[in-house]
Amino acid sequence: MEGKKVKGFLVPVRTEYGESLPTVNLGPVSIYREMKYATPEERRAYNRLVRDVKITLPYAKMVNETMMETYEYLLTLPNDKAREAHLKRMQKELYEQYKPEMKKLTLRQGKLLLKLITRETNSTSYELIDSFLGGFAAGFWNMFAKFFGASLKADYDPYGKDAMIERVCTEVEYGLI
């Protein structure tokens, strides 16, 4: 076989009862029933949710990536003064870059974004702001959000009240819708 290219791929194997069995580990699999709508309003609400998830989910994923990168970078800085300077710089850059795009979101999309940030980061927006900018800033922004009927402390329940959002997110992530 020297000099010959072999086509294919290697698969992990486990041995049971003297037999070698190919093994492939799969991630979680979601199976959903076909959508059925009782009324045209339900169909419109679902289509609106799909549209809103497609708009906001990339931002939630970006927030998660930015938070992870920022946290890792903050660990490399020598002291609190350098960390605070970096956070101020990051905050200013993020405002300049995303403020025009965030202003285009509807109130419903903004509330959905808060839930999706919680979904992606496993922390509420309030907790994220509190950990990076402090409790005063988190309280201020939460009060500002409440003025518009939202909350930075909004939780995410993928198996309960947010099951439809989870379904749409999963289907969007896998390119099914």
| Angle (deg, nearest 10), helices 40-76 and 125-133 | 20
Name which of 75, 87, 78, 50 is nearest 172 in CA terms: 50
Report residue 2's pLDDT band, with 50, 70 and 90 as the boundaries: low
* Each residue's pLDDT tens digit, 33-86: 888 999 999 999 999 999 999 999 999 999 899 888 888 888 888 898 988 888
Q: Are 94 and 136 in contact (CB under 8 A)?
A: no
pLDDT, position 13 = 86
